[in-house]
Amino acid sequence: MTFDRQGRWTRRMVLGAGAALAGTSLLRAQDRSVIAVMPGVAIPDDARKILEAQTGIRMEQVPYLSPTDSVAKLFAPGGTARYDFMATNMYFVRAPLMGAKAGDEKIRPFDMSKIPNAAGMVELFKPEIQSRNGNAYMVPVFWGYDSPLFRTDKIPADDPATKSWGILFDDRFAGHTALRDDAYQALLVAALALGHKDPPTMPVSDLREVQKFLISKKRNIRALWSKFGEAVNLMSSGEVWTMHGWMPMRAALVREGIPTLNARPKEGILFWNHAAFIPKDTQKAELAHAITNAMLSEEYGIALTRSSNYGPMSAKALATFNDDEKKLFGLDVTGPDTARFTANFPNDMNAWIEAWAGFKSA
């Protein structure tokens, strides 16, 4: 590094550095790749090939942990410029990402003329596009749910426990259950098991009772998982018989020959859609539009469902599966026979984080 005789940057140096930075930014803007934050199971190999073939864009994925972590990434210093494309649980992140009023958004609006495939979305999800002042900020790209997973060779399918989130805390399965290592989701499912109808809005006093309940059941819990492979291995090894899990985890276990089902808790499966959104200061907004449109295509939707068992957002893709296939993939949950719970951002997320930390340290 070169300084003037007094050890200061000269005007020429500053201009040169600025030009270099501008050049770097220009190169990045021209590069047909995006830094994406989204679940890896949302772009299995077959689906990734379709996205890249349709768009000519290379997706560089940042490790995905949870909706909570996705919000933290975006809100971190420089986060709105560091990432180019994100997709996560819309119900959870819409409040912090949209902010209280116009101008507070951490994300930029879509130009829906560049998302023609949105016209072919499943009707159920069209109203879920998140808009403000006529601008669309979040577009659903696939859907699914979380539920307790259980091994039917360890827990009979007709066991009454499979009808509740309480299966994860049942003393009969002590030492063979697992929760997700996530403040929001672990406390949420415990609250549902205790009968709370809308856990995100419960007062701190109720949250403390949920924490006490979790602490009382801590010896029952074999593990707290944070990664996809870790969770699947816990079930496939037989260490864990039931856990809070994802649809593609069940799909992976079934492919291994492990008899696994999704429980249908009376309190409701955690029903969600993952919506795409564009960080406010990215230079790759055009590419993010192209990826979003491709994720709404029939081809991507079919590939995603067959590999990960997540629901396609394309109505044409969903129509390609018959009733037996929908049941096999776990997509037969949109009717009145299945209770569904959509979880929003808690009234006091800091209190939830503190409660979870208290549980883990107890």
DSSP state of 153: T
Confirm if 159 and 204 have CB atoms less than 8 A apart: no
Same domain, yes or no: 118 and 180 = no
Same domain, yes or no: 194 and 238 = yes
- Sites in the chain below the pLDDT cut of 50: 1-10, 13-14, 17-27
Nearest to 228 by CA among 84, 33, 36, 38: 38
Is 27 a member of any domain? no
At residue 277, what are phi and psi to the nearest 5 degrees? -150, 160
Same domain, yes or no: 199 and 256 = yes
Q: Which two tokens stand for residue 147?
A: 């539920």
Same domain, yes or no: 203 and 234 = yes
Same domain, yes or no: 213 and 353 = yes
Same domain, yes or no: 102 and 157 = no
Is 10 a member of any domain? no
Is 20 a member of any domain? no
Residues 309 and 306: their CA atoms lie apart, in Å, by 6
The 10s digit of each residue's pLDDT in 249-258 is 999 999 999 9
- Position 323: which residue type? D
When divided into structural domains, the chain yields a total of: 2
Same domain, yes or no: 156 and 235 = yes
Is 179 a member of any domain? yes
Is 260 a member of any domain? yes
Per-residue pLDDT at 30: 65
Q: Which two tokens stand for residue 342?
A: 């959509």
The whole-model pTM stands at 0.86
CATH code, 263: 3.40.190.10
Is 126 a member of any domain? yes
At residue 330, what are phi and psi to the nearest 5 degrees? 85, 25
Domain extent at residue 226: 144-270+341-361
From the number of C-beta atoms within 10 Å of its C-beta (0-12, 13-18, 19+), residue 133 rates as: exposed
Same domain, yes or no: 152 and 227 = yes
Is 306 a member of any domain? yes
Per-residue pLDDT at 29: 53
Is 21 a member of any domain? no
Same domain, yes or no: 98 and 180 = no
Angle CA 57–60–63, to nearest 5:
150
Same domain, yes or no: 277 and 332 = yes
Nearest to 85 by CA among 292, 299, 274, 273: 292
Same domain, yes or no: 137 and 148 = no
Same domain, yes or no: 249 and 134 = no
